[in-house]
Amino acid sequence: MFSLTSMPSSTSALSAYTSFTAFVMLLRTLINEFKTIITQLIPKQLQENFLSRLEGFFGSLSSSQMTLVVDEYNGLSINEIYQASELYLTTRITPSIRQLKVFKTPCEKKLSITVNKGEKIVDIFEGIHFTWEFVSTEKQKSYYDSERGSQATETTESRSILLNFPKKYKEEVLNTYLPHVVGISKAIQEENKVLKLYSLGRFFTWEYIHLEHPSTFDTLAMDPKQKRDLMDDLDRFVKRRDFHRRVGKAWKRGYLLYGPPGTGKSSLIAAMANYLKFDIYDLELTNLSSNSEPRRLLASIANRSILVIEDIDYIIELQDRYRYGGSDDADSQLTPSGLLNFMDGLWSSCGEERIIVFTTHHKDIIKNPPYEDMPEEEKEEEDSEYDDEPEEHLDPSFLRPGRIDMHIHMSYCTPCGFKILASNYLRVESHSLFAEIEELLKQVEVTPAEVAEELMKNDDVDIALAGLVTFLQRLNGLI
How do the domains of the chain map onto residue ranges? 20-193, 207-409, 415-475
Pick the closest to residue 178 from 271, 80, 265 (CA basis).
Answer: 80
Residue 366's pLDDT band, with cuts at 50, 70 and 90, is low
Helices (H), 142-240: 170-172, 178-192, 224-238
| pTM beyond cutoff 0.85 | no
Q: What is the mean pLDDT of the chain?
A: 79
H/E element, 408: strand 406-409
Greatest mean pLDDT among 1-10, 232-241, 293-302 lies in: 232-241
- Each residue of 282-322: pLDDT tens digit? 998 888 878 888 888 888 888 899 999 987 877 777 776 66
d(CA 217, CA 196): 19
* Residue 331 dihedral angles phi and psi, to the nearest 5°: -85, -5
* Residue 432 dihedral angles phi and psi, to the nearest 5°: -65, -20
Q: What is the dihedral of CA 269, 271, 276, 282, to 10 degrees?
A: 30
Pick the closest to residue 394 from 314, 298, 280 (CA basis).
Answer: 314
| Percentage of residues in the chain having pLDDT higher than 90 | 38
Q: Are 47 and 38 in contact (CB under 8 A)?
A: yes
β-strand partners of 120: 133
**Per-residue pLDDT at 465:** 96
- Range of weakest confidence among 35-49, 143-157, 302-316, 363-377: 363-377
CATH T-level fold of 207-409: Rossmann fold (3.40.50)
H/E element, 71: strand 65-71
Pick the closest to residue 399 from 464, 340, 472, 444 (CA basis).
Answer: 340
**Per-residue pLDDT at 380:** 47
Residue 382's pLDDT band, with cuts at 50, 70 and 90, is very low
Residue 166's pLDDT band, with cuts at 50, 70 and 90, is very high
Look at residue 268 and tell me whether its pLDDT is greater than 50. Answer: yes
Pick the closest to residue 165 from 118, 117, 133 (CA basis).
Answer: 133
Look at residue 52 and tell me whether its pLDDT is greater than 70. Answer: no
d(CA 236, CA 405): 13
d(CA 378, CA 401): 24
Residue 390's pLDDT band, with cuts at 50, 70 and 90, is very low
Question: DSSP strand E in 72-205: where?
Answer: 73-74, 77-78, 100-103, 112-115, 120-125, 128-145, 150-166, 196-200
- Each residue of 450-471: pLDDT tens digit? 999 999 999 999 999 999 999 9
